[in-house]
Amino acid sequence: LSSDTLWELATAEVHSRESGVGEEDGGVMVSDRTVFLMGSKAGGKTSILLRCLDRDEPAKPTLALEYTFGRRARGHNTPKDIAHLWELGGGTSLSDLVQIPITPVIVCRSLSVILILDLSKPNSVWGTMDKLLQAAQAQTEKASHQAQQMEKAKAGAKHQSSMPTTARVLPKDYPDRELISPFPLPLLIIGSKYDIFQEFDSDKKKLISKTLRFISHYYAASLIFTSIKSESLMSKTKSFVNHLAFVCYLIKAIPFLGSPPSTDVDITSLHAKNPKDLWKKVYERVFPPESISEQRVLKDPAWDPQYSEPQIDAMRAQKDQVKCLDKTGCN
């Protein structure tokens, strides 16, 4: 093939991806979707992902942001659909990395988000959920705006009304349609380590469950609880994830729950600005958020204990010591 032909093929591929059209294999259109996983640090994201991909291998700590993919055939002797899978490690400490999988080209195509929250650590659930969803939503809105500007530059201002958008259109009969704030991308919330959660006090379980149901309702998301120690729960989880990755996204409406469960605190004294703020105040009265010192958020993941490599760390410490000795005034 000549260089001109290769360039034409590359250009056609870029236009195909930007328009959200999958590739053709033998005349059959192949689905090409992206799923972004984020959530609690050491919350079981990798283990859940490996089980959903039927990969029998030990889970390793996720280093920053990792990519893998999955394929699934629709039938016998048919092309396999592709799912691009991104996983964010480090909990909330590396939330800035959401800009890598959430791009102007991908955001206007089939992009979905899975938020995995560790039910065994309820004190960090709200903070993790809030920070990660805010980061993902801000990046989605930014990428969507960039996509609109790109499309506007190509099509001209007169076609501005047909610019791509990430706004989700809910069914007209969706509960509390005018009161909620749908997440701009299809969202699935998974409560992990359900086996440990089951051992909690009944009142605490009730508050955690109802709070996550409210959050799911507020963001128009789907919600499931799971545990890698339960085959039945993992089977249900796998079904949800595969449907998200290879088929489409179906909103499973979570009924409105009204006020938070009664606690020792008078709800009227909390002075909440809105329903979400009220649920947050009630939840954090029972499960106070961890302090910054307890979270030990590390700017440099190289110092994170879960990524320790004794030999490499020893060599780095020796090198840092040499640098220190070379500096004036260093003891």
Question: Is the residue at 169 inside a domain?
Answer: yes
- From 186, 181, 183, 326, select the one nearest 251 (Cα to Cα): 186
Does residue 22 lie within any of the structural domains?
A: no
When pLDDT is averaged across residues 309-313 and rounded to a whole number, the result is 79
Position 190 scores a pLDDT of 97
128-152: per-residue pLDDT in tens? 999 999 999 999 999 988 888 887 7
Determine, yes or no, domain membership for 251: yes
Residue 319 lies in a domain: no
Q: Which residue has the higher pLDDT, 86 or 299?
A: 86
230 — pLDDT class (breaks 50, 70, 90): very high
- On whether residue 182 sits in a domain, the answer given is yes
Domain hosting 185: range is 29-152+164-286
C-alpha to C-alpha distances, 307 to 25, 46, 233, nearest whole angstrom: 41, 15, 30
Which residue, chain included where needed, has tokens 């390793």? 60
Q: Is the pLDDT of residue 240 over 50?
A: yes
**pTM of the predicted protein model:** 0.79
pLDDT of 19 > 50? The answer is no
For residue 294, pLDDT over 50 is answered with no
Q: DSSP strand E in 27-181: where?
A: 28-29, 32-39, 65-73, 80-88, 111-118
Is the pLDDT at 273 greater than 50, yes or no?
yes
In a domain, 38, yes or no: yes
Q: Summarize pLDDT for 152-207 with one digit per residue, the tens.
A: 787 765 454 444 455 566 677 776 777 788 899 999 999 999 999 999 999 999 99
Let me know: does 220 contact 277? Beta carbons within 8 Å.
Answer: no
- What is the mean pLDDT of the segment spanning 34-44? 94
Q: Examine residue 1 and state whether it is found in any structural domain, yes or no.
A: no
CATH number at residue 72: 3.40.50.300
**Percentage of the chain with pLDDT > 70?**
72
- pLDDT for res 22: 55
Q: Residues 55-75: what's their mean pLDDT? A: 86
pLDDT of 9 over the 60 cut: no
- Retrieve residue 105's tokens: 């080209």
**82 and 6 in contact (C-beta within 8 Å)?**
no
CA distance 148 to 165: 7
User: What pLDDT does residue 192 have?
Assistant: 97
Count up the domains in the chain and report the number: 1
Q: At what angle do helices 202-218 and 275-286 cross, to 10 degrees?
A: 160
Is the pLDDT at 297 greater than 60? The verdict is no
Across 5-19, 101-115, 134-148, 252-266, least confident range = 5-19
Q: Is 309 among the domain residues?
A: no
pLDDT at 263: 65
Tens-place pLDDT, residues 215-228: 999 999 999 999 99
Q: What percent of the chain has pLDDT over 90?
A: 43
Of 222, 127, 139, 248, the C-alpha closest to 184 is 139
C-beta neighbour count of 300 within 10 angstroms: 7
